[in-house]
Amino acid sequence: MNETTDPRDLLAERMIGDVTTAAEVLTVHLGLELGLYHALAAGPVTAEQGLPGIAPRYAREWLEQQAAAGYLDYRDGAFSLSPAHAEVLLDTESPYHVAPAAKLFAGMAGVLPALLRVFRTGEGIPYEAYGRDVRHGIASINRPMFLNEYIQTWLPAVPGLRLRLRAEPGARVLDLGSGLGVSSITLALAYPRVRVHGVDLDKVSVEEAGRAAAAAGVADRVTFAHGDARAAVGAFDLITIFEALHDMADPGEVLRAARSQLVPGGSILIADERVADEYAAPAGPIERFHYACSVLHCLPATMAESPAEASGTALRAPTVARWAAAAELGYQELPIDSPFWRFYHLTRP
């Protein structure tokens, strides 16, 4: 890196670095989708040995590139995957497992031609158009948080909630924006008396979530429906909205509908993006990540629904407070330490 204060040099160097990083992320996506990291987890390989199911010349180039980028180790002519890197890339339950962000990135990149069009027309790109990579990328990124933090950290932050989830008769929970069902299933496994109903606007996600509930042995207590989060479907002790409120076409109406479905003493638990209370630029790395996802995915997907208010990914706490007040809900931000999400507890006065 040249030492310079010329802003042209600084931006030019940064852009080359950013493009290099983006390209390397796509090579990680190749490694995940083709099972190459799993093959390396079995032990070191040489370029001559190659990788199973991969044409030799491509295998060699990918191995060399991955070691050049620092994802793989290279020593004495062999390429290997360290245990620490294997955890980040392959361990789906580890809190360090952020590799699915590469899948998410690849899915967002896949709609760039459509994005060029809607930026001019003001239309949107339906969520389902982003396909499997975005659907599974989001779910896989969030899965370790649900497995390691939902029961252990988030629920205890709401006074009295764990007691209600353990009580008889079993509590009823509504999971809005339930996606592939990990949050719903995790809660049901932890609290055997609880019944969970998940609602999501993506039909394919609902179908996959149903299969996951059956595989986990909780299909008798966990159900999923394809529907609008603004529709009332029953009376609930707990309503959860995890990283979904900012994607909803009319979040204010969603909260009003949620209020109408809360039993006395019930709670709404919301987790959404950790961003500053006010916009400032330049921003920190987490807010930059959320804004990039907003431009490429969250805002276009919301715009496809003729939104009452298109929040975008950078949902700020004062906005959540405003929506809660309009829905006549009590508002509290919970002191939960999370690098990506902020947590809100809403109640019916």
- The pLDDT tens digits of the residues spanning 284-319 come to 999 999 999 999 999 999 999 988 889 999 999 999
CATH of domain 7-90: 1.10.10.10
Upper half-sphere CA count for residue 327 (Cβ side, 13 Å): 27
Cβ–Cβ < 8 Å for 229, 245:
no
In whole angstroms, give the CA distance from residue 218 to residue 174. 15
Q: Does residue 1 surpass a pLDDT of 60? A: no
- For the segment 244-270, the average pLDDT, to the nearest whole number, is 96
pLDDT of 308 reads 83
In whole angstroms, give the CA distance from residue 155 to residue 23. 39
Instruction: Write out the residue limits of the CATH 3.40.50.150 domain(s) in the chain.
Output: 109-347
- Burial of residue 177 (number of CB atoms within 10 Å: 0-12, 13-18, 19+): buried
pLDDT band at 80 (very low <50, low <70, confident <90, very high): very high
pLDDT of 2 reads 55
According to DSSP, residue 156 is labeled G
CATH of domain 109-347: 3.40.50.150
- For the segment 20-32, the average pLDDT, to the nearest whole number, is 98
Q: Does residue 163 surpass a pLDDT of 70? A: yes
Q: Does residue 159 surpass a pLDDT of 90? A: yes
- For the segment 322-335, the average pLDDT, to the nearest whole number, is 97
- For the segment 190-214, the average pLDDT, to the nearest whole number, is 98
Instruction: Write out the residue limits of the CATH 1.10.10.10 domain(s) in the chain.
Output: 7-90
pLDDT band at 4 (very low <50, low <70, confident <90, very high): confident
Q: What is the pTM of this model?
A: 0.94
Return the axis-axis angle of helices 203-216 and 131-145, rounded to nearest 10°: 40
- Helix (H) or strand (E) segment spanning residue 103: helix 100-109
In whole angstroms, give the CA distance from residue 245 to residue 270. 8
In whole angstroms, give the CA distance from residue 261 to residue 33. 42
Cβ–Cβ < 8 Å for 96, 88:
yes
Cβ–Cβ < 8 Å for 49, 62:
no
In percent, how much of the chain has pLDDT > 90?
97
Helix-strand-coil split of the chain, %, nearest 5: 50, 15, 35
Q: Does residue 342 surpass a pLDDT of 80? A: yes
